[in-house]
């Protein structure tokens, strides 16, 4: 019965006036004796989020969770343009989270556990990072027969140049024009050296396939449509790899971007105290312990020295807003499009 109700609720959510943003999926979970519901809008898929939500409900049996999944750009649209009412917003697109907060769409929260966060993992008591996730390269089994898989971006460029026929049309990466997270990763990648643009040009000459999200890339990798996916969120990749998919997940040794999955309580919330309660759980010792047990995820409270030497966490600060400037974004996407349309 719950599945039927959830499906009906999803239809109503998509059709309801004032909620024109695109919903990808919806999950409803009940505590043991629920008397109130906390609503969460998130980029994290329900399969990944379910264990964390169940742990939260075990500690808060008087609550239910209404968990709605949408893309990062759709989440920004829902809050900033449509005034959608949710109690907590979770996203992998750190820049869009900071923009929501900077533009007045987040409430100040001061959970006690925030005192243990590094300074680069929260901003103005408005946005809080709760997990670190590497951004990786994923390679299908047999993609490089008789050769070691690439360990750096330079390795990858050389291998792709040496075997163009093998990889033509069979490389996947984000489309930064439609993916908020993809735009964040691309701009951060480009900011750490010229290798990104060299690689982009090689991928463009090989007719790279562009995607909205990690899940679609991994599906096509699993079904043999592509052999390699670049800039995939590690937690999704390892979840697939651990299901005997035969994937190799590579954290590049030249540098590995580390996104900070973050949360904020939106100003449109009707129950901000409940959103704050979920946020406090995510930052608590138990919440952080659960993060560290998830493949491809590190607790944001983990000492930097415990991370791989190649790790480059993306700082949660106003510097992220620079690449969201309209002129700068247009210029970056124009350069990206030129790289992707190599003759």
Tell me how far apart the alpha carbons of residues 201 and 338 are, in angstroms, rounded to a whole number: 8
pLDDT band, residue 235 (cuts 50/70/90)? confident
DSSP string of 18-48?
A: T--SPP-EEEEEE-SS-SEEEEEEESS-HHH
Residues 6+ apart with CB under 8 A from 231: 135, 136, 137, 173, 174, 182, 185, 186, 189, 257
Report yes or no: 89 and 42 within 8 Å, Cβ to Cβ. yes
Cα 323 to Cα 135, 175, 178, 190, distances in angstroms: 19, 16, 15, 11
pTM value surpassing 0.85: yes
* Domain topology for 133-258+324-340: D-Maltodextrin-Binding Protein; domain 2 (3.40.190)
Please write down the HEC assignment for all residues of 184-233: HHHHHHHHCCCHHHHHHHHHHHCCCEEECCHHHHHHHHHCCCCCEEEEEE
Tell me the per-residue pLDDT of 172-231, one tens digit each, with 9 for 90 and over.
999 999 998 899 999 999 999 889 999 999 999 999 999 988 888 999 998 999 999 999
Task: Count other C-beta atoms under 10 Å from residue 305's C-beta.
Answer: 6
> Are 26 and 9 contacting, i.e. CB atoms less than 8 angstroms apart?
yes
Residue extents of the structural domains in the chain: 2-132+260-308, 133-258+324-340
Q: Where are the alpha helices (DSSP H) in 16-45?
A: none
Rounded Cα gap, residues 178 and 73, in angstroms? 8
Is residue 18 pLDDT above 50, yes or no? no
**Helix, strand, or coil (residue 163):** coil
Indicate whether 276 pLDDT > 90: yes
186: tokens are: 């691309």
Q: Report the CATH number of the 2-132+260-308 domain.
A: 3.40.190.10
Asked whether the predicted pLDDT for residue 169 surpasses 90, the reply is yes
The sign of the torsion formed by the CA atoms of 46, 213, 99, 82 equals negative
Phi, psi of 224 (to 5 degrees): 85, 10
In the predicted structure, residue 9 carries a pLDDT above the cut 70: no
Does this chain's domain 2-132+260-308 share its CATH topology with 133-258+324-340? yes
Give the tens place of pLDDT for each residue, 306-331: 888 999 999 998 999 999 999 999 99
CA distance 316 to 128: 8
The span from the CA of 22 to the CA of 297, in Å, is 27
Model confidence at 10: pLDDT above 50: no
To the nearest whole percent, how much of the chain has pLDDT over 90? 71
Q: What is the DSSP letter of 148?
A: P
């Amino acid at each position: 019965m719950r599945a039927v109700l959830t499906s009906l609720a999803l239809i109503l959510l998509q059709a309801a006036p004032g909620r024109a943003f695109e919903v990808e999926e919806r999950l409803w979970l009940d505590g043991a004796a629920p008397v109130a519901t906390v609503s969460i809008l998130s980029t994290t898929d329900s399969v990944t989020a379910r264990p964390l939500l169940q742990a939260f409900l075990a500690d808060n049996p008087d609550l239910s969770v209404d968990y709605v999944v949408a893309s990062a750009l759709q989440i920004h649209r829902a809050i900033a343009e449509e005034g959608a009412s949710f109690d907590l917003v979770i996203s992998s697109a750190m820049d869009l989270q900071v923009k929501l907060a900077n533009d007045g769409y987040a409430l100040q929260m001061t959970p006690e556990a925030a005192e243990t966060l590094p300074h680069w993992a929260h901003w103005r008591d408005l946005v809080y990072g709760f997990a670190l996730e590497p951004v990786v390269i994923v390679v299908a089994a047999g993609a490089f027969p008789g050769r070691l898989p690439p360990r750096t971006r330079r390795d990858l460029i050389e291998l792709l140049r040496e075997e163009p026929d093998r990889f033509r049309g069979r490389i996947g990466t984000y489309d930064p024009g439609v993916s908020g997270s993809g735009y964040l990763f691309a701009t951060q990648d480009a900011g750490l050296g010229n290798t990104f643009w060299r690689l982009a040009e090689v991928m463009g000459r090989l007719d790279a396939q562009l995607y909205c999200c990690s899940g679609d890339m991994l599906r096509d990798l699993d079904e043999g449509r592509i052999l390699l996916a670049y800039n995939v969120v590690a937690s999704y990749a390892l979840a697939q790899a651990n299901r005997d998919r035969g994937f190799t997940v590579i954290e590049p040794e030249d540098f590995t971007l580390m996104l900070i999955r973050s949360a904020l309580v939106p100003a449109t919330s009707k129950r901000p105290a409940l959103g704050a309660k979920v946020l406090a759980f995510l930052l608590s010792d138990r919440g952080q312990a659960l993060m560290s047990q998830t493949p491809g995820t590190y607790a944001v409270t983990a000492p930097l020295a415990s991370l791989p030497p190649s790790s480059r966490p993306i700082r949660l600060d106003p510097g992220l807003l620079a690449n969201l400037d309209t002129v700068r974004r247009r210029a970056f996407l124009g350069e990206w499009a030129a790289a992707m349309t190599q003759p």
